[in-house]
Structure 1
């Protein structure tokens, strides 16, 4: 390492001396300041030039040998990119052109070979292209102050100002440095909309900065957007209850800058808790997960904010009919940058049509009415500091909160009943990334996250008080290393330690009752993975695994091994096959305690595996897929099998005869996913279909095998978007077959042989809800105020046909011994509007 730095320093001194000498020679060799030369021309030809000093200062040119003024001026136009306009026979104006013509050659800095097929993207414009067989590129009408990004698989991306490539006699040559960490970042295809990409490892990547439009979404709500993908849905229309291939939401590993998140939604799950304007990339993994990830037996969503030092400041602000936000990305100096964002709802002092519809959905069948006060906020900060070119450190912080206050006035003149429900999350983390040699890198990270759910109810003239609390505290440290064994093989290794503590408390003063359940699990994991990419890049794959050691203090100790496999092969041009497999495990789950719900609002509380009532949850999954992809057409099909063991009835949300049994069981999902997408530069249209057969197995229940609560057999999406200039339009239709539920026995609905009486149910999940159908639309218009400032207007309508779909049906026994049927309905017609300004 020291030797490389010494060599770099010597080379730097040599180049510095050489460039200074070359610069001096250039100035001395008949060169003259353009401003002085113009003065000479004014005297020689009796003309006058009008110009801004800033446009001609520091520009050196060589005098022309011509005696013709026109020839001299033409030469100046070609060599300086200065626009010279003749007003009359004597007066001329000089202005620096706002656009320029550029050209260049791209080489590698190792063997100086040309690099064909490198992507050249010009920011602040719609210009982009690739280098030709000679590594050359050229563009006209390029904004002078724009930035150019040059990138290619296997090389580190380069950012350079466009004016560095001004076309002269010789085009500028750029050398790209090799990179050995691009295997998992190769984009295979772009589908559905811009900014949504499928990677070579079969995962999906969402780039929010380049995100286009999806039906019903005028802004890139992250957890709403991922539900456009086959196999990812929400049976209750929330973003905090996402079901990946038939799994529950607590079986998803959700990361923000490497930090595990225990809170993901605002407004009881109707809005994503993550600001999309500071979340640059989102990776969605359904199977074939890298060994670097632990937990999340159903799927992984990894969100990342600012990853590189920005070259210039940017930011924005906006509002919609629920909340307003502001964000900024500021380079403090060449080594330090900060990113910051803040968002808050104004639902506690302003009612809008969107808030009204959301409230009706969230608070139906509860004690909460329109007089309640509810608001949410989130705040993020991130620092990136480049210690030197080979080491940089980052620190991230996110905090979010949901607050519901409800005051119920009584009719007897006593003090009103008061209730509060608060949900808070605070997380902080840091990463140190180091490049020790050209083939060896490492990343050291840690995080601390705390989630707190508090409920307080004061009633009966301030004499009775109920408090409930769910507290999660988690600390994590991880070391990951990458070693490039050969050009085609990368070896990743690492160690991870996690300590998770969860506490659940319930206290009532009258009648006295107290419950306090605490638990701590320490988790050690060693992981290793080999990544391979053939020289022709037709075969790519990874093979690895994790060795986990779980210790629940004073309860159990257990080793769990998790192999992982991910292979893709291009067997014909544009045809690829994918073979994926994984074993995974997790020790945190959410229970749905219907006996201790609050104001009728369902609360999900995190608990730890204890080896008895809730063992370690384990999954195994395998899938095979085929896809055909061109620039204008994509078609893919995947078949999969997934089994999850160690689930408890309490974590599944039963609302029938089994809801209080606490039995341990498993579920098996067999399914297929199909997607066809046709697109060009102006439109994208797609049809997706998902089939799932999802069955529980509980040996202690009768029947032992019955449909899963999330067994939605068929799901279809037909949608498209179209771009007309600065206007983007989206329209879509979503269909799902009804999920299972359990009805009371028609012949003997009530069991009067027990006290208190109970409902007699039919076999578990033997009935199904009606089919679900929803139509959505959205529109976005972008107005470019100038080269750096733009305004975006967005409008969207969810369920514009106002079809009230039934999301769930359950039953309650009334005091008069009658059965009450409760139906939870979907969102009605839900309009939204957004206005943003960005710079």
Structure 2
């Protein structure tokens, strides 16, 4: 009885609140936010509604008049075009309609005379017609996001949204204005392939669960997919060493569930370390980054795993020519759930054509040239607990490892040389999401991540032992608050603290040598940001900034202010311009050791800025872009300028006269990106072109300015995919102009004036490699058993023309004072196949 009495009082309070709002406005009733109505219903009836924020955030309804939950839900269904489905006694889901029936009468702007013969055109469809003698029109099955144009000679055209007809009990009255037209926002719902879309803030969102097919990959690969976008490439043909607008890989901020990742690839960068089947979405940001994010002077990739409680168990398992994996989403109770995934390669006991090709590329210029054993694995888990309808906590964990062991027989030696390399990453983080009021929310998060790279080499009849280690430990805590000042204005504030410790160790027993370099940096950051969206949705964007206080416990303390701006404006129907800008900084970088350290395979070591040999790396970037989208056609162009200061030659991978100098400098990139994409439900085809002019400036060198090691001037991709029933086919070609390198001086190649002798080089990066060309293909077929269970068979071929592209060229001086030319060659023809079951 108490429970019933409590529910009655709650309902009376619910009706009283909305009744007062309604009464205050008398007639007509004041509209209220659907989100607020759902919140009150959850409190009153102890239920939970599951919905996408974008489906309800802009929806307003009259205050409910009914006196029961079922009746109120019926009202919402009838007035919003949103369907509420009951899953059980507590859980409901909201589904936004995809089509709508529309009807109306067209009048002049004084609403006195009907206009017969007015043309009605619905963009993105084959629907069109003219109004009847009484000015009426009607259409069924109109896409809910479609734009409707109504025009007639002597009147200005009018643009309406199909979703405006949802709440109409009767046919709409449309008055053709003399000087007014309403325009819809430009939004790309499919970008290159399904599961990719461009957002209003110019970032790209990838949804692996809805992902289509790209050339060369039989299964989704997150870091391979992002390289299909203009301005994002890899000059060494790996999936993890990604260059965003001419920056190095260590200048990218890679986040997994908000945790910074210091390891991103398996098999030394040839395979992505993140399981796409447990990754819900990926956000890619090249410029105009939110003030919430720190680090990443070149770009940001933020990955998120399961975000909501699953209603039922689902999972999958698969195998390809490198590895096998399994994952599952497991409801534990009404308020909790668990997501797990595991993947392991079987390359340590089975050699496949794919593994052979990968090995040839990975080990081609290293010491690993005899019998070797390699394998990798990764494991993830996430636990979600709903404390109550307004507070939810989650904990995520990811661990990954690469392991290489090999033996090398040596003449006149009783024992072979033995070496091993272990690369491990362990990360754990938690997040508390809270809704305090209808206008105030917060997210409190914390994480710990550890990256460990260990190498051991035993040689000279077990007499010499070399041990090397690179260890990164990082802790972080962040608080973000969001306050809705008004419907179109949101204020974001927050604080972030990060402590990063990095240690580099080298020990040799013969001759005795030991080195142990370590340091700690603490960073405090406060940030604020104002987000605005106009009522007509033509103007969107944010402006904000971060203030960072950075403290190296041994050397320096510094304040850095980082302003950010991201504005988009719809100039004409389907035509939008974007203005983006940002200042960013970072205190972690990777030095590239070319002295065959870490067995000559993994030459990168994480280090901290010390304010002297390696200052804080800072960037500033600005860009302007224009894009045009009419559902079936997207055309976009962006021009940008980026400057990065505080780089050291050790972080750039020089392989010429400058590689041991340790100078501090900068680089600037001026570039443009172009993309044209045509698509429908069956196919998508795209052509992208990127131009970069990327130059170093080191004032103490001669010459002071010369091409960047990553200065790939031109990059072109032509690709497409086609769907026939359950069969998907993808094919594409990639072209890049050659990257720069430095040749020895043809007339005087060896410098005999120094001891030991060295190579005399031409001017830095004054030569270029041959152009790069690769053609890829892929296909998969889905065999469906029911709504939940299916089997997907996939095949792919990278570089099916077997063109051997030169990725890099450098030189070494031999003991007999001859110069050895070293060339890194691209992957040859690389087949792969996969079988996957989803249930």
TM-score bin, normalised by smaller chain: 0.7 to 0.9
**In structure 2, what is the equivalent of residue 526 of structure 1?**
526
Question: CA distance change for structure 1 residues 107 and 637 in 2, over 3 Å: closer, same or farther?
Answer: closer
Q: SS in structure 1 opposite 2:294?
A: coil
TM-fit CA distance, 1:189: 3.5
d(CA) in 1 for partners of 2:297 and 2:835? 39
Per-residue CA deviation, residues 652-706 of structure 1 (Å, 9 max, x unaligned), is 0000000000000000000000000000000000000000000000001110000
Provide the residue aligned with 2:483 in structure 1.
483
Query: Which residue of 2 is the match for residue 285 of structure 1?
Result: 285
Between the aligned partners of 1:705 and 1:414, the Cα distance in structure 2 is 52
For residue 10 of structure 1, what is the aligned residue in structure 2?
Answer: 9
Structure 1 residue 120: Cα displacement: 10
Match of 2:221 in 1: 221
Distance 2:472 2:251 in 1: 16
Alpha-carbon distance change, 745 to 188 in structure 1, aligned in 2, over 3 angstroms:
same
State the secondary structure of the residue aligned to 1:599.
helix
Would you say 1:300 and 2:269 are equivalent positions? Answer: no
Q: Give the Cα–Cα distance (whole angstroms) in 1 for the partners of residues 507 and 596 of structure 2.
A: 11
Partner in structure 2 of residue 468 of structure 1: 468
* Contact in 1 for aligned 2:97/2:144 (Cα 8 Å): no
Name 1:445's counterpart in structure 2.
Answer: 445
**What per-residue deviation string (whole Å, max 9, x for no partner) do you get for residues 634-655 of structure 1?**
0000000000000000000000
1:189–1:629 CA contact under 8 A, matched in 2: no
Deviations 1:201-252 (A, max 9, x none): 0000000000000000111110000000000000000122100000000000
How much does 1:571 deviate? 1.1
Is residue 2:129 matched to residue 1:129? no
Question: Residue in 2 aligned with 1:617?
Answer: 617
User: How far has the Cα of 1:186 moved from its partner?
Assistant: 10
| Other-structure match for 1:498 | 498
Matched with 2:575 is 575
Larger Rg: 1
Match runs of 1:301-700 below 5 Å: 301-369=301-369, 371-412=371-412, 414-700=414-700
Alignment of 1:824 with 2:824, yes or no, is yes
**Helix, strand or coil: the match of 1:268?**
coil
In structure 1, what is the Cα distance between the partners aligned to 2:454 and 2:580? Answer: 41
Q: Measure, in 2, the Cα distance between the counterparts of 1:674 and 1:121.
A: 43
Report if the CA contact (8 A) 1:117-1:152 is conserved: no
Please list, as runs of the form range in 1=range in 2, the aligned pairs for 1:18-97 lying within 5 A after superposition.
none
Residue aligned with 1:515, SS: strand
Aligned counterpart, 1:755:
755
Report the 3-state secondary structure (helix = DSSP H, G, I; strand = E; otherwise coil) of the residue aligned with 2:673: strand
C-alpha deviation, 1:598, in angstroms: 3.1
Q: Distance in 2 between matches of 1:395 and 1:617?
A: 32
Q: In the aligned structure 1, how far is the partner of 2:80 from the partner of 2:475?
A: 46
Runs of 5+ consecutive residues of structure 1 not aligned to the other structure = 1-5, 17-105, 136-149, 154-170, 174-184
Specify whether residues 491 and 215 from structure 1 end up closer, same or farther in structure 2 by C-alpha distance, changes over 3 A only. same
Aligned 8 A contact 2:540 2:568 in 1: yes
**Cα–Cα, structure 1 residues 436 and 514, in superposed 2: closer, same or farther, change >3 Å?**
same
Q: RMSD value over aligned CA atoms? A: 2.6
For residue 263 of structure 2, what is the aligned residue in structure 1? 263
Alpha-carbon distance, 1:736 to partner:
0.2
Instruction: Say if 1:309 and 1:657 are closer, same or farther in 2 by CA, change over 3 A.
Output: same
Residue 111 of structure 1, CA deviation: 3.9
Unpaired stretches in structure 2, ≥5 consecutive residues: 16-57, 65-75, 88-94, 105-142, 147-166, 170-184
| SS of corresponding position for 2:619 | strand
Task: Tell me the CA shift for residue 118 of structure 1.
Answer: 5.8
TM superposition shift of 1:554: 2.1
SS in 2 for 1:214: coil
Deviations 1:456-507 (A, max 9, x none): 0011111110000000000000000000001110000000000000000000
Alignment of 1:192-207 (within 5 A): 192-207=192-207
State the aligned residue count.
700
Distance between the aligned counterparts of 2:756 and 2:667, measured in 1? 32
Quickly say closer, same or farther: Cα 1:413–1:466, change in 2 above 3 A: closer
Contact 1:691/1:714, CA 8 A, preserved across alignment: yes
1:133 & 1:700 partners in 2: Cα distance? 70
CA contact 1:186–1:199 (8 Å) conserved in 2: no
> What's the CA shift string for 1:800-832, capped at 9, x where partnerless?
000000000000011111111110000000000
**TM-score of the two chains, using structure 1 as the length reference:** 0.81
Q: Deviations over 1:425-456 (max 9, x none)?
A: 00000000000000000000000000000000
C-alpha separation between the residues in 2 aligned to 1:829 and 1:333? Answer: 49
Distance in 2 of aligned mates of 1:614 and 1:340: 40
Contact 1:325 1:342 in 2 (8 A): yes
- For 1:744 and 1:717, the matched residues in 2 are separated by 33
Contact kept in structure 1, 2:413 and 2:460, CA below 8 Å: no
The 3 A distance-change label for structure 1 pair 134 and 365 is same
SS of the aligned residue for 1:280 comes to strand
Q: Distance in 2 between matches of 1:681 and 1:794?
A: 21
Q: Conserved in 2, the CA contact under 8 Å of 1:550 and 1:559?
A: yes
Please report how far the alpha carbon of residue 409 of structure 1 lies from its aligned counterpart in structure 2 after TM superposition: 2.4
For the 8 Å contact 1:810–1:823, the answer to whether it is kept is yes
Q: What is the rounded CA distance, in whole Å, between the counterparts of 2:334 and 2:456 in structure 1?
A: 50
Following the alignment from structure 1 to structure 2, what is the Cα–Cα distance between the partners of residues 469 and 727?
48
Say if 1:477 and 1:496, in contact at 8 Å, map to a contact too.
yes
Report Cα offsets for 1:121-155 as digits up to 9, x if no partner.
999xx9972344599xxxxxxxxxxxxxx9999xx
Cα distance, 1:594 vs structure 2: 1.2
Contact 1:737–1:771 (8 Å) recurs in 2: yes
Alpha-carbon distance between aligned partners in 1 of 2:96 and 2:481, rounded to the nearest angstrom: 38
Q: Distance in 2 between matches of 1:121 and 1:206?
A: 27
SS of 1:559's equivalent?
A: strand
Residues 1:738 and 2:738 are matched in the alignment:
yes
In structure 2, the CA distance between the partners of 1:460 and 1:9, relative to structure 1 (3 Å rule), is farther
Q: CA deviation at 1:7?
A: 8.9
Contact 2:186–2:574, Cα closer than 8 Å, also in 1: no
Q: Is the 8 A contact 2:468 2:598 kept in 1?
A: no
Equivalences for 1:225-244 in 2 at 5 Å? 225-244=225-244
Contact 1:116 1:130 in 2 (8 A): no
Contact 1:399–1:427 (Cα < 8 Å) also in 2: yes
TM superposition shift of 1:408: 1.4
Distance 2:289 2:650 in 1: 27
Distance change in 2, residues 1:448/1:208 (3 Å): same
Q: Is the 8 A contact 2:338 2:381 kept in 1?
A: yes
Q: Secondary structure at 1:226's aligned position in 2?
A: helix
Closer, same or farther in 2 for the Cα pair 1:415/1:355, shift >3 Å?
A: same
User: For residues 12 and 342 of structure 1, what CA distance do their matches in structure 2 show?
Assistant: 47
SS at match of 2:578: strand
Residue 93 of structure 1 is matched in structure 2 by: none
d(CA) in 2 for partners of 1:13 and 1:417?
Answer: 82
For 2:311 and 2:339, how far apart are their aligned partners in 1?
13
Does 1:714 find its partner at 2:714?
yes
Residue aligning to 1:73: none
TM-score (norm 2): 0.81
The answer on whether the counterparts of 2:81 and 2:96 sit within 8 Å (CA) in structure 1 is no
Describe the superposition over 1:583-638 as per-residue Cα deviations: whole angstroms up to 9, x where unpaired: 00000000001125233224200000000000000000000000001110000000
